[in-house]
Amino acid sequence: MKLDEIKHEGLRRWIWQMAAMCEPKDIVIVDGSDAQREEIIQLALRNGDLIKLNQDKHPGCYYHRSNSGDVARTEQLTFICTQDKYQAGPTNNWMSPQEARDRATGIFSRSMRNRVMYVIPFSMGPIGSQFSKIGVQITDSLYVVINMMIMTRAGSAVLDALGYKGEFTRCMHGLASLDPERRLILHFPQDNEIWSVGSGYGGNALLGKKCLALRIASYQARQEGWLAEHMLLMGIESPSGQITYIAAAFPSACGKTNLAMLIPPEGFKAKGYRIFTIGDDITWLRVNTDGQLWGINPEAGMFGVAPGTNTQSNPNAMATIGKNTIFTNTLLKPDYTVWWEGCDGETPASGVNWQGLPWYPGLRDADNKLILGAHPNSRFTAPLSQCPSVSRRIEQPQGVPISAIIFGGRRATVTPLVYEAFNWEHGVYIGATTSSEVTAAQTQGIGDLRFDPMAMLPFCGYNLADYLSHWLRTGERLNPAPKIFHVNWFRKDENGNFLWPGYGDNLRVLEWIISRCNNKIEAQKTAIGFMPGPNDLDLTGLNIDPETMEKLLKIDKDLWLEEMDKREKFLKEKLGNTVPVEIFQQHLLLKNRLNKN
C-alpha cells in the first residue's frame, strides 16, 4: 500500500511531517497481510532484531533480546504534557508541551536516516465498535511492528474504518540511540498524541498499550464519561450455568494474567466451574443504557511476564505461547528453545542469558550475586485468540456486563486474603488506598512499598485526585453498581513463604466473591469490610490448616492503625488537597471502626 492511497488527509500530512523530522530512507504502511508480516519477520531475522527459535518445538516463534539498559518501563522518563501542570497532577511527571516537543524533536531529528519508517494503523477494541479507538503508530523498530501486529488489530481494515476524517491518536515512536539519557515517553492528551523515543521495550514502545489505552484513554474517558483501567477481565461460569463477569486491577506483575486464565482446582471442575478469559491487562468500562457497567478488552494479545509461568501455575498461558509467540529477554538454550526461572522441566546446563552472555546455573557476578538466565521482567507476546480459555465475547463490540470489581496488591502483611466494600464509595476508597511492593516491571524502587490507586499510578493520564472523583461520579450513574472487593494473594509467614497457594486456587476466593454478587451467601461485618467466615471458602482438596486460614483472614488492629497513618500521609502529602472529600470521610470512618474494635 502506498502513502498516496491513504484517504485521510490529516494522517497523510502527519506522516510527512514526521518523515521530514526523522528523514527515513523509505516509508512502509503496515497492511496487516500475512505476506507482509512474513517479509518483516525475514528482515528482522537478517538485522538481528529476532532470532528464529526451534520451529519443531516453538512453531512460528521468535526470540528477541532488548538492549540491556532497556528492559522495563522507565516511569522517571514518562511525562504528561498538558498546558497546566495541575492537569497532570501531583503523581505524574509533567513537562510543558512546547518544551517536550522541542526536546524530543532534537532527539528524533534525522534519527531514521538509512532506516525504514513503518506506519501501523491499529484499533484498540473490535474494529468499528463505538467503544473502540483508532491509533496510528510510526516506528523504525521491526520488533515493535511485529509486536503491534499481535497486541492490536492492525492493518488496512483500520484505515477503512478511519475513513476521510476520523479521529485517531498520533503515536510517534523511534529507537534513536536507546541511551536512557536520550529517552522520553511523552503524552499530549490535549492533542491526542504520543511521542516516545529512545526505548524499544514493552509499555515504552508498544504505544497502543499503556500510552494510548491507559494514559490517553483515561483522559478521554473522563471527558466522555467512561473509565480506562489497568484491569483483567474474565467470566466465571458457575455450576448453574450462569456466567459472572469480573474486572480486577492489580499493579504490574501482581497476577492479572494468571488470574484471568486460571484453571479451576479439580473439585471445582467437577462442580462445573469454567473460566472465560477476555483480557489480562487493560479494560475499558462504560455505563450502559441498562444502568450496568460494561467492559471490553481493547487489546488483541498478551504481553505477559515469563518467569514463574509453567504448566502447573498457568497451563492456559503455556498453551497460548505454544506457537506464534515472541519471547523477549528469556534464556536462550543451545537447541534454540527458551527457558526462564520457574519454567517447566529441569534447569538447563547452559545457555545464553538475557544479556547475551554465556550462562550456567549458579553463575555469579563480581559481587557474588546470582546471575539470572531470564530477566525478571522477561515477557512473551502472544495472540489472545490462542488462549484455550478465551471467551467468544472478545469480539463483541459492547463487551460484557460487570458484576464485581476487584483491587489488590502484593502485600506480605496487613491486608487479608479478601474483603468486600460496604458500598461503591467505600470501594473507591479501598481502590484509592491500595498499595503494593514494587516489581521488576519498572526500573526503579523494586521491593519498596508504594501506594498505587486502582493500580493506575503510572498510567493515569491526568490528575489522580480528579480521577478519584471521576470514579465516585461514575458510581452515581450506575444502577446496580458492581460490588467492590480487595484481595491479596501474597501474604507471607515469618519465614517469607506465601501463606496462600494462589494461582488456580484463587478461584476459591472468586467463588465467594460471585456468591456475594449473586446474594447467595451471608458475610461477616468487620471494621474493614465484609469478610468470609471461617467455613465460607470451599477449601476441599486443599491442604491448608485452620491456623494458616486464620492468619490469611486476620485483621491486626495495630498493623492496620499503622497502615492508616501511611494512607493518610499518602492522601494528604502525595495526592494533594483536591482529593475528594468522600475519600477522607471513608478514611475517618474506617479509622473510627478500627479504634472501636
Q: Which is closer to ligand SPV, CB of 202 or CB of 383?
A: 202
Name the residue type at position 199: S
- Show the site string, 493-532: x = touches ligand GTP by CB under 6 A, - = not: -----x---xx--x--------------------------
CB of 586 to ligand GTP, least distance (A): 26
Give the DSSP letter of residue 97.
H
Return the closest-CA partner of residue 292 out of 478, 518, 514, 484: 478
How far is Cα 417 from Cα 490, in angstroms, rounded to an integer?
8
Is 254 catalytic? The answer is yes
In the list 32, 89, 198, 203, the residue contacting ligand SPV (rule: CB under 6 A) is 203
Residue 523, classified by CB atoms within 10 Å of its CB into exposed (0-12), middle (13-18) or buried (19+), is middle
Contact 163, 8 (CB under 8 A): yes
Q: How far is the CB of 530 from ligand GTP (least distance, A)?
A: 22
Question: What would you report as the CA-atom Rg of the chain, rounded to the nearest whole angstrom?
Answer: 24
Can you tell me which of 303, 327, 380, 462 binds ligand SPV, judged by CB under 6 A?
303
Beta carbons within 8 Å of 590's beta carbon, 6+ residues apart: 429, 527, 528, 564
Residues 409-448 that bind ligand SPV (CB under 6 A): 441
- The rounded distance, in Å, linking the Cα atoms of 390 and 2 is 36
Q: Note whether 75 binds Mn ion by CB under 5 A.
A: no
Write each residue from 226 to 265 as x if it is in contact with ligand GTP (CB under 6 A), else as -, in one continuous string: ------------------------x-xxxxxxx-------
Mention every residue, 6+ apart, whose C-beta is less than 8 A from residue 173: 137, 138, 139, 140, 141, 144, 194, 195, 196, 197, 205, 207
**Residue 280 found at the interface with ligand GTP (CB under 6 A):** yes
279 sits near ligand GTP (criterion: CB under 6 A): no
Q: Per the structure block, which three cell numbers stand in for 218?
A: 483515561
* Interaction mask 255-284, Mn ion, x per CB under 5 A: --------------------------x---
Q: Does 411 bind ligand GTP (CB under 6 A)?
A: no
Closer to Mn ion at the Cβ: 487 or 517? 487
Q: Which residues contact 588 (CB under 8 A, 6 or more apart)?
A: none
Interface with ligand SPV, residue 391, by CB under 6 A: no
Binding mask 287-306 for ligand GTP (x = CB under 6 A): -----------------xx-
Which of 29, 305 has the CB closer to ligand GTP? 305
Shortest spacing between CB 71 and ligand GTP, in angstroms: 13
Single out the segment in contact with Mn ion by CB under 5 A; choices: 26-34, 183-191, 249-257, 493-501.
249-257
Burial class for 440, CB neighbours closer than 10 Å (0-12, 13-18, 19+) = middle
The cell 537447541 sits on which residue? 335
Residue 210 touches which of ligand GTP, Mn ion, ligand SPV, none (Cβ within 5-8 Å per kind): ligand SPV
Please count the residues of this chain forming the interface with ligand SPV, following the rule CB under 6 A: 9
Chain positions 68 to 97 lying near ligand SPV, rule: CB under 6 A, are 73
The answer to whether residue 307 forms part of the interface with ligand GTP (CB under 6 A) is yes
Nearer to ligand GTP, 196 or 252 (CB): 252
- Find the part of the chain contacting ligand SPV (CB under 6 A) among 62-70, 188-196, 201-209, 530-538: 201-209
Nearer CB in complex with Mn ion: 138/306: 306
- 3-class secondary structure, 42: helix
Dist. CA 426–CA 582, nearest whole Å: 9
Contact by Cβ (8 Å): 556, 442:
no
In angstroms, the Cα distances linking 321 to 124, 325, 494 are 22, 6, 36
Query: What type of residue is 463?
Result: N
Site residues for ligand SPV, 247-286, by CB under 6 A, read 252, 281
Q: Is 441 in the site for ligand GTP (CB under 6 A)?
A: yes
Q: Of residues 61, 254, 387, 517, which has the active-site annotation?
A: 254
Yes or no: say if 429 and 590 are a contact pair by the CB < 8 Å rule: yes
Beta carbon of residue 147, minimum distance to ligand SPV (angstroms, whole number): 10
Q: How far is CA 461 from CA 7, 170, 214, in A?
A: 30, 16, 7
> φ and ψ at 419, to 5 degrees?
-150, 160
Residues engaged in binding ligand SPV (CB under 6 A):
73, 202-203, 209-210, 252, 281, 303, 441
- State the residues that interact with ligand GTP by CB under 6 A: 250, 252-258, 280-281, 304-305, 307-308, 313, 441, 489-490, 498, 502-503, 506
Residues tagged active-site: 254
The footprint of Mn ion (CB under 5 A) covers 252, 281
